[in-house]
Structure 1
């Protein structure tokens, strides 16, 4: 049976993407070779599922609905520049997210917990909400990169209003991944019976 590659995510508003574009342009002055994420590909991943069959989509949507049930729409702040795994070995350049209500963490934990019941592995690492800006291809010019990242450690980019989550298909090709919405689930302030 044919499989598709999918993940659950939150969409990023255009005005935030435009600010990210300015940051990427400033970071492009670094001599470190970096593969930059295209603006139309920037999103907040809640759960990467990998390859699934289309027959699994209804169960996954049910988990999304269960996790969203009882969580009202909320705001998260896009702030803090950083790298993974650490400044000594920077591989991924990102912007962090601040969730004052813990709703983002509850949502992600609810998704992970429900998906575990239908045989999807839970995340091994703790959930660190972030938007990936680029991937470091080589550590040439690492010191310049680290100094520049320090400039962005206290940056505030704006807020994201989270009112829905999406199941996305990812089709890889040489010019970058193409994302297609498969399912969309709204957050609901009041718990409803399933």
Structure 2
């Protein structure tokens, strides 16, 4: 199964961002982007890729320990950025140091569970909003439009393990579907 560890924003934060995205979709070039669905918005902490089912119990135990060692922390959706001309994302503000430490802990949990995490790069907190279609779209106007966006703060209090179901059969417009397969509350044990 295809898995990743994530922080899932609450419904109120998703609603605030969805209103902003509706405005972004009015910008020139927006039809050249594949927009992600609000129901799937998340902050990926550690992408694990395909994981054998027998690995999941050990991974879950390690993620539970990582969550227990993390204190609840404030976070808000804020601004945005891009990865070249291939992905547009919303950023975050708040205790990004704790979010980065949680990403490191999730990565370490996966490694200790025997998952190859060589793909891991430096962590950039982001929530993907759109990806370029075949032709590149200049994402700079979209990033500029996101500059003033500041969602309301919320308290992050749990770590989630999410399964990604990729589209099958090349059906136009079909998007990945996400299923939360585990959730662990923070313990704040430092």
- Same fold at TM > 0.5: yes
Partner of 2:14: 17
TM-score by length of 2: 0.86
For 2:92 and 2:188, how far apart are their aligned partners in 1? 22
When the two structures are aligned, how many residues end up with a matched partner? 181
Partner of 1:95: 90
| Alpha-carbon contact 1:75-1:160 (below 8 Å) kept | yes
Partner of 1:177: 176
1:122 Cα offset (Å): 4.5
Q: Residues 115-146 of structure 1: CA distance to partner in whole angstroms, max 9, x if unpaired?
A: 22324315532100111111122235x2xx42
Q: What is the alpha-carbon root mean square deviation over aligned residues? A: 1.8
> Which consecutive residues of structure 2, in runs of 5 or more, have no partner in the other structure?
none
| Alpha-carbon contact 2:73-2:95 (below 8 Å) kept | no
> Which consecutive residues of structure 1, in runs of 5 or more, have no partner in the other structure?
none
Residue 167 in 1 paired to residue 164 in 2?
no
For 1:101 and 1:23, how far apart are their aligned partners in 2? 22
Q: Residues 158-190 of structure 1: CA distance to partner in whole angstroms, max 9, x if unpaired?
A: 223211111111111242112222111111013
| Alpha-carbon contact 2:48-2:110 (below 8 Å) kept | no
CA change 1:168–1:119 in 2 (3 A) is closer
TM-score by length of 1: 0.84
1:68 Cα offset (Å): 1.6
Partner of 2:44: 45
CA change 1:75–1:122 in 2 (3 A) is farther
**Map 1:120-135 → 2, pairs under 5 A:** 120-135=116-131
